[in-house]
Amino acid sequence: MTDKYTQFVSRGIGKDVAKKLGLPQPVVLRRYQPGQALVPGPILVQGSSDGADELAAALLAWDLDVRRHAVPREKLGAIVLVLDELDHAEDLERPVLSAAASLRDLAPNARVVTVSRTPASAPGPASAAARQGIDGLLRSLAKELRAGATANGIMLADGVNTTSPSALGALRFFLSGRSAFVDGQFLTVASGEGQLPADPEKPLAGKVAVVTGAARGIGAAIARTLHRDGATVVVVDIPAAGDHLAAVANSVRGTALQLDISREDAGHRIIEHAVGRHGRLDIVIHNAGITRDKLLANMDQGRWNSVLAVNIAAQLRINDALLASRDFRDSPRIVSVASTSGIAGNRGQTNYAASKGGVIGMVRATAPLLAERHGSINAVAPGFIETEMTARIPFATREVARRLNSLQQGGQPGDVAEAIAFLASDAAGGITGEVLRVCGQNLVGA
């Protein structure tokens, strides 16, 4: 669905009117296009550690325009603040205030990315305080940036260096237009697993991916994005959506499987189709989901059970089949679609929020089970996304929901698909058990 307000206030008289009246001033976001420059200007890498030097060298090897010191009034495409050797909260002052001096030089749709260590692995209270302080700092900064700029962070487990495959993969994702609607978020790189693609434009080349709930909306966008990135795609949806499913399969030159994923044998059917038709199975995207909204006081058994059956019970059974299969053992990837409702809650969605919270718990508990086969499982939690479902929300409620994030607009199905495509790639092999919100940084709730 088109956000006409954002288009109106992004230029000319509309921009002037919004400014004079104090209205929200969202801008059209710079979303990824094949062949697009990674960032809209030079990258300033700040930090005095060896990790900062190594990261700057890696970016130079990508033929990017890298600065180690700010040039006054030069428009920057990104600031990368490397804080991997931070030991005390007092140590934040110099690098953070140095970066602050360059914030006014950020170009529209620029990026700020921090690279730091996880608080959980800190050797003591002082170090943990400093590391956790970056969390609050980054999320607050993300709410201060304007003109489509975003701020996100990468946290490294101890022993993982700044140029490990997944650290570089996460950095590339956060710098690029693929992360246009990801703001105020962190990804933890837990290990040195993963591998950067030979061709950044085709990071999924040679992979076979299954996408459930793929007949329309976000699922169809996921299928198209995975295909664009080089994957062979199997699209799955219920028989009633057969015509739409066939159209998506044709558009991605993949195959369609008409299947109710709540069936007991759904996992075996999916494996059988992918391996039988395409010879392998590398990626499974759990996108299928339903809503049956009602206040809990008015909730009935049918609404409750149907949502839990499709949104979480089906995923658990399919994952059991995947984990038991010999055909899902070569660095496999699972990505589940959760929801910000499963994190912050939402009125009238107790059943849906319970199911999506369940997805998050499932992802975290399944991650160790995939580790022995060098696999990963992660979740993406969308916020307000422009879909057929949100288009049915009453106008006033829809407009408020669109503006209640740092980017002051709704996301697109493609924004969710881009995050999923990254987490499904080998470049994210060291990232597992994570929940990445694609919500423009909601201003309320968790």
Q: Could you write out the DSSP letters of every residue in 10-42?
A: TSHHHHHHHHHHT-----------TT--SSSS-
Contact, 367 vs 432, CB < 8 A? yes
Q: State whether residue 100 is helix, strand or coil.
A: helix
Burial per residue of 201-232, b for 16 or more beta-carbon CB atoms within 10 angstroms, e otherwise:
eebbeebbbbbbbbbbbbbbbbbbbbbbbbbb
Nearest-angstrom CA–CA distance, 385 and 365: 27
H helix intervals, 325-377: 341-344, 350-371
Q: State whether residue 347 is helix, strand or coil.
A: coil
Catalytic site includes residue 352:
yes
177: number of CA atoms within 13 Å, CB side? 18
Nearest-angstrom CA–CA distance, 350 and 293: 8
Among left, alpha and beta (phi > 0; psi -120 to 50; other), residue 253 is: left
Report residue 291 as tokens. 């809503």
Catalytic residue among 174, 186, 352, 422: 352
Nearest-angstrom CA–CA distance, 99 and 118: 21
Name the phi and psi angles at 98, rounded to 5. Answer: -65, -45
Residue 95: name the closest of 160, 164, 45, 149 by CA.
45
According to DSSP, the residues that pair with 79 across neighbouring strands are 44, 112
83: number of CA atoms within 13 Å, CB side? 35
Catalytic residue positions, numbered:
352
